[in-house]
Amino acid sequence: MKTFNVPIIYRSPLITAIKNRRKQQDRMKKDFSPTLLDFGTLKIMLARHFGFCYGVENAIDIAFRTVDENPGKRIFLLSEMIHNPHVNDDLLEKGVQFIMDTSGNQLVPWEALQPDDIVIIPAFGTTLEIEARLSALGISPLQYNTTCPFVEKVWNRAEQIGQKAYTVVVHGKPGHEETRATFSHSRHTTPTVVVKDMAEAQLLGEFISGKRPAAEFAELFKGQYSPGFNVETDLQRVGVVNQTTMLATETQAIADYIRGVILEKYQHEANAGERFADTRDTLCYATNDNQSAVTGMLQVPADLAIVVGGYNSSNTSHLVELCEEKMPTFFISSDEKLLSANEIRHWDFHHKQELHSFSFLPDQDVVTIMLTSGASCPDALVEGVIRKLLSFYGLEHKADELAESWK
Ligand code: SF4
């Protein structure tokens, strides 16, 4: 796979060495068991796959290179480039400005932009409407485009099935930048509707089967369907694509469910299966790997899990969701949230609040901790967490020994 020029401050020689060794031992990526870092009284189970994905490294490479190569120019990012506060803060410090926040609220008015300004499209991509707006301002929207190729693959697939008269169902968070972009691209080709979870998919299923009156659709899916969407005619042939960072198992379950509803409704037709488009090939490799690695990690007994990543990172919250099913889980943005061996600040993504908890480390002879991070989290932050945990057990010196042993 292509390699990128990512600032050294985001790298961790220790984590790189561990990842490289695991990669050499398992080139086909079949082994999802965690890496055991055994310090005696503290055992850390490091997920097989975690951290920066292809799309994030690509975006960071382009953004930092653009800053370096264009001194004196005004450089804007449409919104947060990736959902990691450390990376975004570093770009802000270099003078980059964000035009919108992650919810789409305007921070810099469009009228303030000039034709010779640089506007970087983030890894999530953007809407066709925003591309058109930039073009109208004399700014090429595709010159500094960091849209991940795996997101573009979803757009292409949506377009392909749209051209075959399938309606596209997007499994994603309606307000997320990537889902807004995918919705925008898809709706220009075909009727499109967004479902955020299985509950909404089941609601949509009731419209597909005709169990729920079409008149209720507009209210129940307000803001989530393309203009002119016709419940009577636009839910007869369907394909499901996703926001690439959703839980892959949930997307698959939603696709299977909708396929089942369609097959039941059209069971009298010999070719009923053709009413559902197979889009399994659009699931992002990094989301699959990171989620499978957590599932693999959770096969091993442990006392707690720590997941590192930006609090607004969708893919990170799904890793947390998986861990929470098995054990106490703490979602932190960096080692700074590990206040002491007794205190931790951590994000409750269900209620969108940071909690301050005590006694998070069990008082026992040997403690085993699962550790992973999201696709937008620098490995340096994960190493920081390992070092901080070691310090709580008086084992600081072990970090460098560990790095040596993995060389
Ligand atoms: S998670 Fe997947 S789709 Fe999203 S930026 Fe990373 S590689 Fe691209």
Q: What is the DSSP string of 123-164?
A: TT---HHHHHHHHHTT--TTTTB---HHHHHHHHHHHHHHHT
Domain for residue 1, yes or no?
no
Q: Which of 245, 283, 289, 291 most suits a substitution to test ligand 1, by most atoms within 8 Å of the C-beta?
A: 245
Within this chain, do residues 295 and 334 fall inside the same structural domain, yes or no?
Answer: yes
Instruction: Give the CATH number, domain containing residue 26.
Output: 3.40.1010.20
Q: Do 299 and 353 belong together in one domain? A: yes
Query: Hunting for tokens 């054990």 — which residue is that?
Result: 327
Q: Give the pLDDT confidence of 332-366 residue by residue, as tens digits.
A: 999 999 999 999 999 999 999 999 999 999 999 99
In the predicted model, is pLDDT for residue 399 greater than 90? Answer: no
pLDDT at position 158 over 90: yes
Predicted confidence at residue 406, as pLDDT, reads 80
Mark out the alpha helices in 7-138 (DSSP H runs): 13-25, 54-69, 85-93, 128-136
The count of domains in the chain is: 3
Mean local confidence (pLDDT), 222-245: 97
Residue 253: the pLDDT is: 96
- Regarding whether 340 and 219 lie in a shared domain, the answer is no
Say yes or no: 252 and 131 in one domain: no
Tell me if 257 is assigned to some domain.
yes
Residues 12, 315: Cα–Cα separation, whole Å = 21
Whether the per-residue pLDDT at 281 is higher than 80: the answer is no
What confidence score (pLDDT) does residue 402 get? 84
- In this structure, are 163 and 80 located in the same domain? no
Whether 394 maps to a domain, the answer reads yes
Is 314 near ligand 1, meaning CB less than 6 Å away?
Answer: no
Half-sphere exposure of 236 (CA within 13 A, CB side): 8
CA 372, 373, 378, 379: dihedral to nearest 10 degrees?
Answer: 10
334, 306: one domain: yes
Kindly list the strands in the beta sheet with 118-120, ordered across the sheet, starting from the edge strand earlier in the chain: 97-98, 75-77, 118-120
At 174 the three-state DSSP class reads coil
Active-site residues, by number, are: 178
88 in a structural domain:
yes
Per the listing, tokens 């499978």 go with 292
Say if 143 falls within a structural domain: no
- For every residue of 99-114, which 3-state class applies, written as one string? CECCCCCECCCHHHCC
pLDDT in tens, 300-323: 999 999 999 999 999 999 999 999
Q: What is the mean pLDDT of the chain?
A: 95
Asked if the structure places residue 175 within a domain, the reply is yes
- Judge whether 142 lies within some domain: no
Q: Which of the four pLDDT bands, split at 50, 70 and 90, describes residue 180?
A: very high
Over the stretch 138-154, which tens digit does the pLDDT of each residue have? Answer: 999 999 999 999 999 99
Of 11 and 103, the one with more pLDDT? 11
Share of the chain above pLDDT 90, in %: 91
Full residue range of the structural domain in which residue 361 is found: 8-52+286-406
**C-alpha 36 – ligand 1 centre gap (Å):** 27
Q: Which helix (H) or strand (E) holds 120?
A: strand 118-120
In a domain, 264, yes or no: yes
Q: Are residues 156 and 279 located together in one domain of the fold?
A: yes
pLDDT recorded at residue 400: 84
For residue 150 and ligand 1, the question of a CB distance below 6 A is answered with yes
Say yes or no: 270 and 207 in one domain: yes
> Please, is 4 exposed, middle or buried when counting C-beta atoms within 10 Å of its C-beta (0-12, 13-18, 19+)?
middle
